[in-house]
Amino acid sequence: MSSTSSIPSFGLGTFRLTGQPVIDSVRSALELGYRAIDTAQIYGNEADIGQAIAESGVARSELFLTTKIWVENYASGKLVSSLRESLEKLRTDQVDLTLIHWPAPGNGVELPEYMEALAEAKAQGLTRRIGISNFNIELTRQAIAAVGKDEIATNQIELSPYLQNAALTAFLKEQGIPVTSYMTLAYGKVLKDPVLAEIAAKHQATVAQVALAWALQLGYAVIPSSTRRENLASNLLASDLRLDAEDMAQIAALERNGREVSPEGLAPVWD
């Protein structure tokens, strides 16, 4: 699996999945060859994922595990201990990547404090890499000022053919910060798109494969989720799909600023 400066380009998302559904999803994904798994403290599924990995027989050294620190754990006195709890649930002594989940402006913990606490978690060996999620340009600049841009392994942001985030992705590219795209299928909305359906038919692919291939070709990592084994297998094939310049131009024209996720109090002012 190719990587975006040591971040796997293709992983399994686990948002909204807990209990047996997430255990089954992770188990199937690992059997199919997925080696990157994305979770978060707020998903409430770290222990389930830890169990699925332990039962899979796949060596920890073969896996790339990402988790995200939840807002209530941002204070310097809490962040490191909260990550230790996550590691316990995941049954590992280190994750590969830890992200600040949302910038949460005005929640009482200033950005430099939580970025420095995150860097401290890395210094203690609890995480191999650190990064950010849902940060706009200005907040990414502040994160760079706090820890240095080489320390920021990715900015994980909502991106889909309907939300292409041109200004932010251009800025991240200029800074050399890799992009991870989440919700690349816009909660399934893009699956009904006639333009994408036409491109899919041309390549004898699925619409989901086309949307994922689009993101991969732009250099983004993707983390689609599914509880269905056939969809997990099918999504993985997006890595082999090559879209041509005309396909990419047609998808570029689908931009409609169709944001699906922007929780009040957590989200920044978007670019």
Contact criterion met (CB below 8 Å) for 87 and 94: yes
Angle at 27 between CA 21 and CA 28, to 5 degrees: 90
Task: Say how far apart CA 251 and CA 245 lie, in whole Å.
Answer: 10
Only one residue has tokens 């920044």, namely: 268
| Cβ count within 10 A of residue 227 | 14
Please tell me whether 101 is known to bind a ligand: yes
Pairing of strands 7-8, 3-4: antiparallel
Number of H helices, E strands in the chain: 10, 10
Q: Is 43 a catalytic residue?
A: yes
Closest residue by Cα to residue 181 from 79, 251, 92: 251
**Residue of 43, 74, 162, 182 with catalytic role:** 43
| Cβ count within 10 A of residue 201 | 11
Q: Which helix (H) or strand (E) is 143 found in, with range? A: helix 137-147
Task: Say how far apart CA 267 and CA 262 lie, in whole Å.
Answer: 6
184 alpha-carbon distance from chain centroid: 10
The residues carrying an active-site annotation are 43
As annotated, the binding site includes: 101
As annotated, the binding site for substrate includes: 101
